[in-house]
Amino acid sequence: MAARVKALVAGNWKMNGVKASKKEVAALARKLAAAKKKPACDVLVCPPATLISTLKEAAKGTKVAIGGQDCHAKESGAHTGDIAAEMLKDAGAAYVIVGHSERRADHGETDAVVKAKAEAAHRAGLTAIVCVGETEAERDAGQTLKVIKGQLKGSLPDGASARTTVIAYEPVWAIGTGRTPTPDDVAKVHGAIRKALEARFGGEGAKMRILYGGSVKPSNAAELMSVPNVNGALVGGASLKAEDFWGIISAYL
């Protein structure tokens, strides 16, 4: 029997948001508080690092968690412009995204770099959301599962557990494009991810949350969230507005 896994709906604000954006988190918190039926998922917002403490305060006393979008592998040092996982934790973060395809592409992050960042997250007491996903060229070449399995093998620390680690599958060709794989395609990839996690981590792998990301929006959330082994979503643009993000969270009402 498959392990019961509580879903997580996480918003990645990317390089968007200023202090005034806290109104969206406050509005989201009010929707959660006012809902007669509470969604069967955890809710997370990952803003730019400049807003973590601001949004943490805005979400105080609510069910909305706050996370970061990246961290350095080191705890401190001469790394101008970088942010340590411990700094994110100190600012109020509970999670941190590592290995997002935009980091892998724009900053040349390898699986080894992503693994080191996940280890840093664990060291600091943060839950690491480790991203994997294939490009359109890799998909067209029939290499999707090979690429995903390789990224999982190289990016996940040996000590990863269901408490410390979340996997996010984001097909690169679907991020921000409005295109999404079919539910059958998503099921195939998520099933392969689950199998790989169980093979490596046993019972912990059976309980790890596997999120789907890539043009998730209110209109397709219910269908995508009902796919086997999809335990939530990593949401980009649709997480910037409370109304849109709530529309996705509502898939778990």
pLDDT digits (tens, 9 = 90+) for 44-97: 999 999 999 999 999 999 999 999 999 999 999 999 999 999 999 999 999 999
Q: What is the band of 122 on the pLDDT scale with cuts at 50, 70, 90? A: very high
**Statement: residue 14 has pLDDT above 70:** yes
For the segment 192-215, the average pLDDT, to the nearest whole number, is 97
* Confidence band of 2 (pLDDT split at 50, 70, 90): low
Task: Look up the domain containing 61 and give its range.
Answer: 8-14+39-74+81-252
Confidence of residue 203 (pLDDT cuts 50, 70, 90): very high
User: Over the chain, what is the mean pLDDT?
Assistant: 96
Catalytic residue selected from 100, 109, 122, 204: 100
Domain count, the chain: 1
Query: Model-level pTM greater than 0.75?
Result: yes
Closest-CA residue to 168 (of 85, 240, 102): 102
Do the domain assignments include residue 30?
no
Round to whole Å and give the CA distance between 54 and 2: 39
Is 223 an active-site residue?
no
Identify the pLDDT of residue 1.
Answer: 44
Q: What is the mean pLDDT of residues 114-120?
A: 98
Q: Is residue 1 part of a domain?
A: no
Percent of residues, the chain, with pLDDT higher than 90: 95
> Would 3 be classed as within a structural domain?
no
Catalytic residue flag (residue 57): no
Instruction: Assess if residue 178 is contained within a domain.
Output: yes
Q: Is residue 33 part of a domain?
A: no
* pLDDT number for residue 175: 87
Q: What pLDDT is stored for residue 179 in this prediction? A: 86
Query: Residue 147 falls within a domain, yes or no?
Result: yes
Residue 31 region by backbone torsions, left for phi larger than 0, else alpha for psi between -120 and 50, else beta: alpha
pLDDT value at position 180?
85
CATH of the domain at 50: 3.20.20.70
pLDDT top residue among 179 and 158: 158
Residue 190 lies in a domain: yes
pLDDT at 3 (0 to 100): 67
Catalytic residue among 24, 102, 170, 204: 170
In a domain, 215, yes or no: yes
For 140-152, what is the mean pLDDT?
Answer: 97
